[in-house]
Chains A and B, each alone.
Chain A
Amino acid sequence: NAGVTQTPKFQVLKTGQSMTLQCAQDMNHEYMSWYRQDPGMGLRLIHYSVGAGITDQGEVPNGYNVSRSTTEDFPLRLLSAAPSQTSVYFCASSGTTFGELFFGEGSRLTVL
């Protein structure tokens, strides 16, 4: 019962470094998305995808890239990390348009 798997769970970066947060789901869900959660801000949508080869921007896309080459995987790339990107990142997937979102356990990123 893997569901949505995110790696790494913890990461410390220096300003300017790049990295990729991995997200994989084994439920054959078409919809996948990335959120960031900051204290007092709630969950904010970064990017989302409605199927392989299709991605779109959410509320806070700047500084992040995504791609969706397969149904299972939806990696999030930080191009040049900034301290403002220190956050907890959640990947989520859903099997239907109005359906339940299944979240990964989160990735805690600190940018120094």
Chain B
Amino acid sequence: RKEVEQDPGPFNVPEGATVAFNCTYSNSASQSFFWYRQDCRKEPKLLMSVYSSGNEDGRFTAQLNRASQYISLLIRDSKLSDSATYLCVVNRGYGGSQGNLIFGKGTKLSVKP
């Protein structure tokens, strides 16, 4: 099992749709979790951190399921501007070093008019 796995997509959805991405991780000792967004030919940018209790930021909701070792990202009322690749990032270590960050390969989302 790969350390961090994501469905590569692409997810093609109409504007206004709700779409969800899952990301599984293999190391049960993983400490922190993030979703990054990467636009085409641009650098990744932090979308949101994922907390144990789940967290919401506007139309975006992130959830963590430690028992099943996955995190999810839900996007409601999709906008054209949400089209991007969403990267799941897991910090697998106890020490919190940046060297312990593992990036998933990303899930591509395309929102159509």
Which residues in A have some Cβ–Cβ distance to B below 8 Å?
31, 33, 35, 40-45, 48, 50, 56, 58, 90, 92, 94, 97-98, 100-101, 103-106
The minimal Cβ–Cβ distance linking B47 to chain A, given in whole angstroms, is: 10
Chain A interface helix/strand/loop/mixed: strand
User: Among the listed B36, B43, B45, B96, which residue makes an inter-chain contact with A98, where contact means beta carbons less than 8 Å apart?
Assistant: B96
Q: Kindly list chain B residues whose C-beta atoms are within 8 Å of the C-beta of A45.
A: 99, 101
The 3 closest A-B CB pairs, nearest first, are A97-B96, A103-B43, A42-B105
CB distance from A87 to the nearest CB of B (A): 13
- Contact call A90/B46, Cβ cutoff below 8 A: no
Please pick, from A42, A56, A94, A101, the residue contacting B104 in the complex, using a CB distance under 8 A.
A42
B53 contact set on A, CB distance < 8 A? none
Q: Which residue of A lies closest to B44 (CB)?
A: A103
Return chain B residues, CB-CB under 8 Å to A97. Answer: 95-98
Chain B interface bracket (under 10, 10 to 19, 20 to 34, 35 or more): 20 to 34
Distance in angstroms from A6 CB to nearest chain B CB is 9
By a CB distance below 8 angstroms, the chain B residues around A50 are 97-98
Contact of B44 among A31, A40, A90 (CB under 8 A): A90
Interface residues of B in 47-104 (CB under 8 A from A): 49, 87, 91, 95-99, 101, 103-104
A98-B104 in contact given A48-B98, A90-B44 (Cβ < 8 Å) = no
For residue A93, give the distance in angstroms from its CB to the closest CB of chain B: 9
Contacts A98-B31, A98-B32, A98-B91; is A43 near B98 (CB within 8 Å)? no
Minimum CB–CB distance from A42 to chain B (whole Å) comes to 4
Q: A90-B44, A105-B43, A106-B43 are in contact. Are A42 and B103 (CB under 8 A)?
A: yes
Cα-based distance from A68 to B100 in the complex (angstroms): 19
B9 smallest CB distance to A (angstroms): 13
- Tell me if B98 and A41 are in contact (CB < 8 A): no
Residues of B within 8 A of A40 (CB): 105
Closest to B91 in A: A98
For B103, what are the chain A residues with a Cβ–Cβ distance below 8 Å? Answer: 35, 42-44
| CB-nearest residue of chain B to A90 | B43
User: A42 near B32 (CB under 8 angstroms)?
Assistant: no
